[in-house]
Amino acid sequence: VKRRPRVVVAGVGDTGLLTAIHLAPHADVVGISTKAGLVSGQELGLRLARPREWERGYRIGFDRFRRLDSARVIHGTVTSVDTDGRTITVKAADGSAQDESYDVLVIATGASNGFWRTPALQDDGDVARDLDESHARIEAADSVTVVGGGAAAVSSAWNIAATWPDKRVDLYFPGTHALPHHHPRVWRILEGRFEARGIGLHPGHRAVVPAGFRCDEITGGPVAWSTGQPESTADAVLWAIGRVTPNSDWIPAEFLDANGFVVVDDYLRVVGAERIYAIGDVAATDALRTSARARADRLVARNVRAELGHGTAKRFRPLARRWGSVVGAQDNRLEVFSPSGRSWTIPAWDALWPWLVARSIYKGIRPADR
């Protein structure tokens, strides 16, 4: 009997999960995950302001994904890879070390970015505690300063102000406008709404990051500006300045660029390695590292299958601009911005989610209360 190929997916976050879902019908898939389920890095604002609502779409136990029924997900951390022997070593949650062999390895360990995206080994209780603590920290503050101009910062400022209209919320960003990687039209549309909601907008502010501070907690102290303005104070300061560190310390240096991201070719194959692919925020595909939001999970699955003798491989085409939802679902409507900055709104989001997300993207998710 011919053995099914074995694909190990290192890191089961947004992209590792989707890649595993595509490959599960065709291979024995083994996922290695530091979290006991999907804990998405998306929609920080919703997560901070309305964590229970956020959890419905972004924190989902692996046992609920129908396509993962045939896969095995190990709760642990990948600590090393032996490319000659085609094995990885995993430190499991119980502290034991185990080796897993692969025919193909997909690297999807992502990047750390503030307190909401960490490579720490966490069980469900740890994740729930983190969620509740950061929510409580913001809830207790009368004034909130958000530092940063990307989607995480913009979405946080909006959702905090929308959830608690009495709080003073200020958004400080270095450029003349926020969302510099989106089409300029996106911020033009949002700016007026932010002003109407009373959110203080402060362009031209670049924060001084205190020495040794990794931007991985909500702080309370004053914020100094290297752009010359007087210090700002608030009860809670949220740092969302895009300080991204790749989770690649387990990968041999020969496969990494100077910043620690995994070097890949147009097919998302790791350059210099055999039968290893990389996807998501850890993969140095293009300047904006767009393979996650460009939905390259389908392409990697296709290319892995081609490597195993089925079909043909395809080249990855990076996106020139960020796109998608910026502030998440509001009042049961989801506004999505296209790469050309056009806005369209999906109504009745709660009713459509099971179709547009659970079924179409994840190929089936069981209800939470089963």
Determine if 119 is a binding residue for ligand FAD (CB under 6 A).
yes
Please identify which residue in 7, 8, 9, 15 interacts with ligand FAD, judged by CB under 6 A.
15
Please identify which residue in 8, 9, 16, 83 interacts with ligand FAD, judged by CB under 6 A.
16
Determine if 55 is a binding residue for ligand FAD (CB under 6 A).
no
Determine if 247 is a binding residue for ligand FAD (CB under 6 A).
yes
Determine if 145 is a binding residue for ligand FAD (CB under 6 A).
no
When the beta carbons of 113 and 232 are compared against ligand FAD, the nearer one is 113
3-state helix, strand, coil in the chain (%, to 5): 25, 25, 45
Element housing 151 (H / E): helix 151-163
| CA 6/CA 112 separation, integer angstroms | 28
User: Residue 236 is encoded by which pair of tokens?
Assistant: 């809670």
Please identify which residue in 160, 325, 349, 365 interacts with ligand FAD, judged by CB under 6 A.
325
Least distance in angstroms from the C-beta of 108 to ligand FAD: 5
Least distance in angstroms from the C-beta of 282 to ligand FAD: 6
Residues in the chain: 370
Determine if 31 is a binding residue for ligand FAD (CB under 6 A).
no
Determine if 77 is a binding residue for ligand FAD (CB under 6 A).
yes
DSSP for 291-345, written as a single string: TTTTTTHHHHHHHHHHHTTSS--------SSB-EESS--BTTBEEEE-TTS-EEE
Least distance in angstroms from the C-beta of 27 to ligand FAD: 19
When the beta carbons of 13 and 114 are compared against ligand FAD, the nearer one is 13
Determine if 57 is a binding residue for ligand FAD (CB under 6 A).
no
- Whether 31 contacts 22, CB under 8 Å: no
- Whether 185 contacts 83, CB under 8 Å: no
Stretch of 107-115, 154-162, 186-194, 299-307 contacting ligand FAD, by CB under 6 A: 107-115
Least distance in angstroms from the C-beta of 321 to ligand FAD: 10
Q: What is the 3-state secondary structure (H, E, C) of 18-83?
A: HHHHHHCCCCEEEEEECECEEECCCCHHHHHHCHHHHHHHHEEEHHHEHHHCCCEEEEEEEEEEEC
Give residues with Cβ within 8 angstroms of 317, minimum separation 6: 294
Least distance in angstroms from the C-beta of 142 to ligand FAD: 30
Residue 83 vs residues 95, 225, 275, 277: alpha-carbon distances, Å: 23, 46, 9, 12
Least distance in angstroms from the C-beta of 268 to ligand FAD: 12
Q: Left if phi > 0, otherwise alpha if psi is -120 to 50, otherwise beta: which for 280?
A: left
Stretch of 212-220, 227-235, 262-270, 318-326 contacting ligand FAD, by CB under 6 A: 318-326
Please identify which residue in 109, 145, 156, 303 interacts with ligand FAD, judged by CB under 6 A.
109
Determine if 131 is a binding residue for ligand FAD (CB under 6 A).
no
- Where do contacts with ligand FAD occur on this chain (CB under 6 A)? 10-11, 13-16, 18, 32-35, 41-42, 77-78, 108-110, 117, 119, 151, 247, 250, 280-282, 292-293, 322, 324-325, 361
